[in-house]
Homo-oligomer: A and B are copies of this chain.
Amino acid sequence: MMKTIPREAGIIYEFNKTNQPIATVASGSIIRIETYDCFKNQIDSEEKELTELDWNQINPATGPVYVENAEPGDVLKVTIEKIEIDSQGVMLVGPGLGVMGASIEQMEAKILPIVYDQVLFNELRIPINKMIGVIGVAPAGDGVNCGTPGAHGGNMDNKMVTEGATLYFPVAVQGALFGLGDFHAAMGDGEVSVSGVEVAGAATVTLEVLKGETIQQPILENEDSFTQIASAKTLDEAATLATELTINRIVERTGMPISEVTMLMSAVGQLEICQVVDPLVTVRFVVPKWLLTQMNVTLIG
């Protein structure tokens, strides 16, 4: 029977090597992890006084999960088998938050019922687009709060992190110390308001340790593509990092000249925005499998 880790078992607000594991699993395990929304479910009605919101309880991730046999230098492969979401989401805007923060006069929350495959926004209907905002492992050095993305994963807010996707994280500490949270029922690239349709839920994931692979920032694989994710202080820096990591990796794995790989990625690779509103911003470089198959190469695995 599949193991479920309830959110009451333990949450973290920081991916940190000193966190105590709430569960230990063998490599290859499938587990179901339950999560709070990014406000730790504090906003349960639009009348809630947002001034009372405890900002120390933002972006909880359920975890950490200790994965046996994961050693620094390995890769943790996380396949997202299923995402379940609650029947109610919430969005937030406020002064100083997100791209429009200078034009928003007061903090405002909106409760959004989720009925079947639609989010209800006033009389508007938005198809759900389930995704996981925060997912990652503990970094080697200081902890990183769960609102910030980085080489360890974290708050990447990448809409490609959805059912059927596989993520690869660089393992930095014994046991990897995996966690996830901050699901969205829908979110567009950019996440411009600072929130998606924030929702509690549960994710069923397979956790597997890969030996003999080295990566610097998370990689995502789905049916159509391999994607290099990268976070940095500015979009320009993140864009450069994601592009360089992708091209250098393909050069290393194929032996092709960097000039030709650069041309191919310019013609076929897609440089895309994940989010622009977290303390570091996140970009991805997407390479279609129809090209990689012809080149007889993968980004990982």
Contact = CB atoms under 8 A, between A and B. Distances in A.
A188 B295 contact: no
Contact of A267 (B186, B258, B276, B281): B186
Contacts of A126: 264, 267-268, 291
Max chain B Cβ within 10 angstroms of own Cβ: one of A243, A258, A271? A271
A196 interface: yes
A234 B238 CA distance: 12
A54 interface: no
Max chain B Cβ within 10 angstroms of own Cβ: one of A103, A247, A266? A266
B99 A244 contact: yes
A100 B187 contact: no
Q: How many copies does the complex hold?
A: 2
A266 B122 CA distance: 15
A257 B295 CA distance: 50
A269 interface: yes
Contacts of A104: 258-259, 262
B93 A270 contact: no
A91 interface: yes
Given A196-B267, A264-B121, A272 B189 contact: yes
A21 interface: no
A270 B190 contact: yes
A116 B50 CA distance: 60
A193 interface: yes
Interface in A189-204: 189-197
A276 B236 contact: yes
A273 B192 contact: no
B239 A188 contact: no
Given A110-B263, A126-B268, A192-B243, 8 more contacts: A98-B262, A99-B243, A103-B258, A108-B259, A126-B267, A191-B266, A235-B236, A273-B283
